[in-house]
Amino acid sequence: MTKLGILLSGRGSNFLAIAESIRLGHIDAEIALVVSNREDAPGITAAQALGLPTLVLPSQGRKRQEHDEAVVDALRRAGAEWIVLAGYMRLLSPWFVHQFAGRILNIHPSLLPAFPGLDAQKQAFDYGVQFSGCTVHFVDEHLDHGAIILQKSVPVLPTDDEHTLADRILVLEHIAYSEALALVLSGKYRVEGRRVLPL
């Protein structure tokens, strides 16, 4: 069974949705390690409650690659084969990306390439778009940039504010991330340039 390494910094709702999909047998994988770069991340407490192996490696004040080397070392020791970024609020060094080339996934709460970076839902809301959504993509050296695996869209309603929009996107994030993971772990895809196509 494929071993996953999960990296998170906060709430951990995407991680929990993935853990539930695994429990239900929708994803053929096991979680080998959950790493947080923040001691106070609720996601790490939730992982402990599920009895999963966890590790906190504080990143504040550490050089990017130096911290990444410690994370990668822990992931390798745990046998992680694929890396899932689930609200990991730290840019990976090119070195890290190279260690797991083509095997790192991220989810972003907008329809990329629109609104990369922080507060994507607020960016989209303030811009006045009528549709937004979420994107699961491969991770490359650039922020929120790698090839798109799957997107799901939601309408922005006249009654929305940035928070209700974010809530509606989050519901789809939890579905999209598991679907994308199931696809890549099945190996039934090919990458042509920036396009990820089913086999």
Catalytic residues: 108
Q: Note whether 12 binds ligand GRF by CB under 6 A.
A: yes
Q: Are 177 and 8 in contact (CB under 8 A)?
A: no
154 to 173: interface string for ligand GRF, x by CB under 6 A: -------------------x
The beta strands (E) that lie in the chain are given as 2-8, 29-36, 54-56, 82-85, 104-108, 131-138, 148-155, 189-192, 195-198
Structure tokens at 189: 């895809």
Q: Note whether 14 binds ligand GRF by CB under 6 A.
A: yes
Of 6-14, 22-30, 46-54, 189-197, which part binds ligand GRF (CB under 6 A)?
6-14
Least distance between ligand GRF and beta carbon 186 (Å)? 23
3-state helix, strand, coil in the chain (%, to 5): 35, 25, 40
Q: Of 35, 36, 47, 87, which lies in the binding site for ligand GRF, with binding defined by CB under 6 A? A: 87
Residue 148, classed as helix, strand or coil, is: strand
111 to 150: interface string for ligand GRF, x by CB under 6 A: ----------------------------------------
Q: Which residue's CB comes closest to ligand GRF?
A: 87
Q: Are 32 and 2 in contact (CB under 8 A)?
A: no
Task: Report the Cα 146 to chain-centroid distance in Å.
Answer: 12
Q: Note whether 107 binds ligand GRF by CB under 6 A.
A: yes
Least distance between ligand GRF and beta carbon 192 (Å)? 26
Q: Are 110 and 133 in contact (CB under 8 A)?
A: yes
Structure tokens at 143: 């922020």
Structure tokens at 196: 């990820």
Least distance between ligand GRF and beta carbon 35 (Å)? 13
Q: Of 4, 5, 10, 59, which lies in the binding site for ligand GRF, with binding defined by CB under 6 A? A: 10
Q: Quick one: 12 or 146, whose CB is closer to ligand GRF?
A: 12
Residues in contact with ligand GRF by the rule CB under 6 A: 8, 10-14, 43, 86-87, 107-109, 173
